[in-house]
Structure 1
């Protein structure tokens, strides 16, 4: 018969994957190797353990998602986006203030370096000890 993955078997039987893994570990439910040695369960094995499977097997492409639900309202998302935009603006203001502060410090440093060059004392010509005479 057809073989299904553990997730698909959980969906078919209405049991959780954890329950199926526990039954596999205790030996009550047997598995077989599938593609790339993944655990697969034969549908006849599911019928043996759980009885008649009420839902019919409908094959869906793996990339198709079914049963999506919106868990967060749009207004909550809009509020979050608004608060994040405000935070970004605040951070931009802080960065701008820091950059202007850095520029002013650079100018101050440049002025201090310029004063050092011109403020060096000029010693009289001759030997240095003659300065004390």
Structure 2
């Protein structure tokens, strides 16, 4: 690891002793440092082409993409329509209905008789 990273062996021994780098023990009882631990602490080794930082995504169409593409387009159009409808609703002014004013009459005192059909119709004629 020291050679791979261009470090002195004593630098790695010191990093392990201070706990900056974690070392394991191999089958022979020797301390070993995993490459992932070195990458965690020191980053990729200089001149390393083994680990590419960002893989190039495959942009070729797949059968699944071909199947989903019309659905995704419809979803996009529906979202646009919902956005337009919401905007239209915001622009509408809420106008509550106002009931015509009824003349206030004094409530009759005493027990009320049940209304009959005749009394209801005569009230409508007035």
Using the size of structure 2 for normalisation, the TM-score is 0.33
Task: Please identify the structure whose Cα radius of gyration is greater.
Answer: 2
